[in-house]
Every structure is written in C-alpha cells, then in structure tokens.
Structure 1
C-alpha cells in the first residue's frame, strides 16, 4: 500500500508539472478578389458582412481585411507576396493559432497558390500550418469565358469594366485555358491533382435576379446586379453572372450552393456573394468555429 501511495503521489506531481494546454486563438482574414483596394472593408466587402462574421470569434478583434494588388498574376510579390506579408503580420500581432480565411472570386486562386507551393516563399509553411480552413465565396477556380472576352476586347470590356478592370494580368490569368494550365501544373485541389493541405470549401452562386420590383435585387447594388444578369446570357444556365457554377466547384469541395441555405432560397450574384445578402454573413459567422 505504501508503494502504491508513493507511485500515486509521484504521478500526481508529474501531471501537475506539465504546462497547461493553451487555448487556440482563432482569427479570420477577409481576402478580396481582382483589384487593388486601399480600403477593401468599404470598397470591396462593406462593413456589414465583416461586422456580422467577426462576432462569431471568441475575440471579435481577431480579424484582418487584406488590401493587396490582385490585378497581378497570383504568384507576384504584389499579390501572393503581399497576402503572405499581411497575414503573417496579423498572425504574429494577435497571436493567432488557427486562421479561417474567407476569400472571394480570384482571391481564391491567390490563396490556392500559397497552399499549393509551400517552398516558393519562406513565409508560406508557417501560414499553411496556421490556416484551419478556407471558405471560398464564388471562387474563379477554373476561370471564366468573360475574362477571355475582356482580353479579346469585345463588348464585355465595356460591360465588365467595373468588375474586372482593364486588361490586367489577373484577368489574363482567369482566362479558361490559362486556368486549366495553372490547375494542371501549379495549383492543387482540382480533379486529378493532389489535394490542398487545408480544407477549401466553396460557396456557389447559381443565378442572378434583377427584377426592378424585387427588393432582393438591390442587395449589393442594383446596377451591379443588372450588369451581371446581362453577362449571364453568355454563361451556362447555372452561373452567378461572372462565373459558371462548374468553375466555382472546380477546386476543393462545395460547402453549399446558394439557394440551399440562403434566406428565402435567394441566389447570390457574383457581387452579392461578397456582401451581407440573404443571411450570408450569418452563415459565415456560424461556421467560423465549426
């Protein structure tokens, strides 16, 4: 009995001497799509969706909104390099141990570049280790025929100038054949390629509603909705006005298609999928710590 008591005491001391497990510090990063915003909170996302999502964090101060030059090819210092720099500084400053990345459109390609090429930049391995998951809103994973149209200089250059900018390198990158090459050679997550090292879940926009008498058409701006319904005529029957559903589904897995979870089963146009439309912000908030 005496020997047993001694062993029990020694075990208790040993357990008591072990450091307590630190609680994970969860953060969220909002990564914009094509463009070079200096204030993406207001000009790309708008504060409403950001404020809704971050209330799902244990500490709602642990968020960052990225501002980089995503008019460049995804691997450029101004694009992936800038993203890596801003994410690293955020992680270090706030002590983040688990990062949820919420990205939109071409931002998903920049994030996939980092996840797919860990040896390209010394900052990438640390970021990959900290990222818990990526939520990709309407990602342009397989490109879009509209990018080809803009580069070729036809009617879409005028119709999509507000959305795509001019003939910049990010638009060239999102041409269908170009993305097929990048997916086959440089990026993970698509069919026949290695899986991404972290979950990449897509939210798919399947349609555009622009009825002038329907208040829902005004979420995110009626002019943008109307323009996307126009360009939808050159896409498949399942599209968000900029991307075919097949492109949005090409990498990772599908988290959900808009109408299956949005309020009122409303579709999300490409513009609405980066705004707080039809309960999207609440869905993103509720999934933060899952």
Structure 2
C-alpha cells in the first residue's frame, strides 16, 4: 500500500506544470494593449522572472483606469486561458501595485465569477510588489492635482481621477477591506499565501542614470505626505498589510517593477 501511495505521489508531482503570470498596476487605458503591458515590466524583468523564457508565462493586460472588479474580469480570462490551454497546475502570480488589489479581489470573491475557482485552485502563491492594500495617500492627493501648479508629469504619475485611482484612495480601500476583500487584520484569510515586497527608496539611480520618475516619486512622497517609509507612491504600512514578508527593497515604485536598480526579477525567479 505504501509503495502504491509513493508511486501515486511521484506521478502526481511529475505531472505538475508550473507557470508564472505578471499582473501590472494601474495606469492608462492603453495598458489593455499587450505591448504596453510588456513595456510596463520591461524585457529585462520578464526575461529574469521566466528564467530566460524557460518558464511558461502570461503577461496580463487590462485597462489601467478601471475598478478592481472590472480589471479582474479582464485578467481572469487571460489567467483562465493560460491555465487551461497550457495545462498549468502550479501558477505563481507576480503583481505590482494595483495589480495586487486586482488579484486580491479574485481570491477574496471566489463565487463572483465562474473562472475564479479554477484560478485559485491552480495557484501556488502570489508575490505582491508594493500593493496599496490599505490605499495610498498619493491617490488621495490625485483629485487636487489637475490644473494645479504641479507639472504634467507629476499629474500623469499619480493618474488623476480615474476609477482605479479612486479605488486606491485610503478611505475607499478601508471600506473594501471591511466588506469585500480578505487578508487584512480582522478579516478572513485568503485561500492562498501572499508574499509582500515593500519599497522604501526614492531617488534610486537618478544621480547616475537620469530617470524623471525618480524625481517625480521623490517629490510626490513629500507632497502627498506618505507616512513612514515609502517608495514614492505606496507607503510600506500599506504594502505590508496583507500576507507575509518576503523582503523590503530600496527600489522605488518605478524600479520595483523592473530589474534594473535592484534585481527584483532575479529574486522573483527563485520561485522556479
């Protein structure tokens, strides 16, 4: 009997097929375009996460201006197709920023959509980079920026008053966390483990390689009054509110979705 169980167990492991999905954060409607979603992460990041494209992968793309449940519908179809068409039984989901909220909606509401249970069942765990799990003070500020003295690139960085920006306000996320999302303190646990990565750097490699995003994020951190340490867009208290710690990074909110200033993608690839 023991021999049979061992053979069965080994057989099941041998048939497991691993894959990885990347889910971007909020932004423009153009993020529904696969090539724009690819550029959001950058080729170096994608290449690192997939171990030079040897791990089956899907780069999810959705309209970055939408509420989490709308975005989740677009992402769910891509995840479901990837899982079923490629026979993925061991899915790792890497998310950045609002993408972590989109995925948490799926895992918090398994009966909301017929595709959700399959996605949840086939997922190993979620790696959540800088997700505003309790909202972002930068999103709170967004409504005051349009037409202000601040330059256009600061306004674009925050996202103005799109539905996804409203979704990320601290008061809106407090409501969602109380009634619709699992995983925060006092709420039911999520069905799969979330490993958080939070950012605490701002200027990063601005002094060596000019990135206007570094200037914008450092400026935004001060203007928005992000409490404690932050990555220029999301404070660590918010990014760390769901799941268990993987690591903190000096990479700011622009660089922690890439594999340049700090090798985030290299760390993510250790899953495989």
- Establish whether TM, by shorter chain, passes 0.5: yes
User: 2-side partners of 1:120 and 1:62: how far apart?
Assistant: 27
Q: Note the C-alpha offset of 1:64.
A: 0.6
TM superposition shift of 1:167: 1.2
Instruction: Write the distance in 2 (CA, Å) between the matches of 1:245 and 1:15.
Output: 45
Matched, 1:281 2:265: yes
The alpha-carbon deviation at position 279 of structure 1 amounts to 1.7
After TM superposition, what 4+ stretches of structure 1 lie above 3 angstroms from structure 2?
Answer: 11-20, 152-160
Paired residues of 1:138 and 1:203 also in contact (CA < 8 A): yes
Q: Does 1:177 align with 2:147?
A: no
Match of 2:92 among 91, 94, 100: 100
- 2 CA distance for matches of 1:44 and 1:97? 27
RMSD over equivalenced CA pairs, Å: 2.5
Question: 1: distance between equivalents of 2:175 and 2:95?
Answer: 22
Instruction: Name the structure 2 match of 1:239.
Output: 230
Partner SS for 1:172: helix
Structure 1: give runs of 5+ residues left out of the alignment. 1-10, 259-266
Matched residue count = 261
Alignment of 1:40-189 (within 5 A): 40-55=36-51, 60-76=54-70, 79-153=71-145, 155=148, 158-189=152-183
8 Å Cα contact 1:40/1:65 also seen in 2:
no
Q: TM-score, normalised by structure 2?
A: 0.88
Note closer, same or farther for the CA distance 1:238–1:88 as it changes in structure 2 (3 Å cut).
same
Unaligned runs of 5+ in 2: none
1:236 CA drift (Å): 2.4
Larger radius of gyration: 1
**8 Å Cα contact 2:157/2:216 also seen in 1:** no
Map Cα deviations across residues 202-251 of structure 1 (whole Å, 9 max, x no partner): 10001212575x32xx3xx6100111011111222401001111111111
How far, CA to CA, are the matches of 1:96 and 1:52 in structure 2? 20
8 Å contact from structure 1 (residues 149, 157) kept in 2: no
User: What residue in structure 2 maps to residue 8 of structure 1?
Assistant: none
Contact 1:210–1:229 under 8 Å retained in 2: no
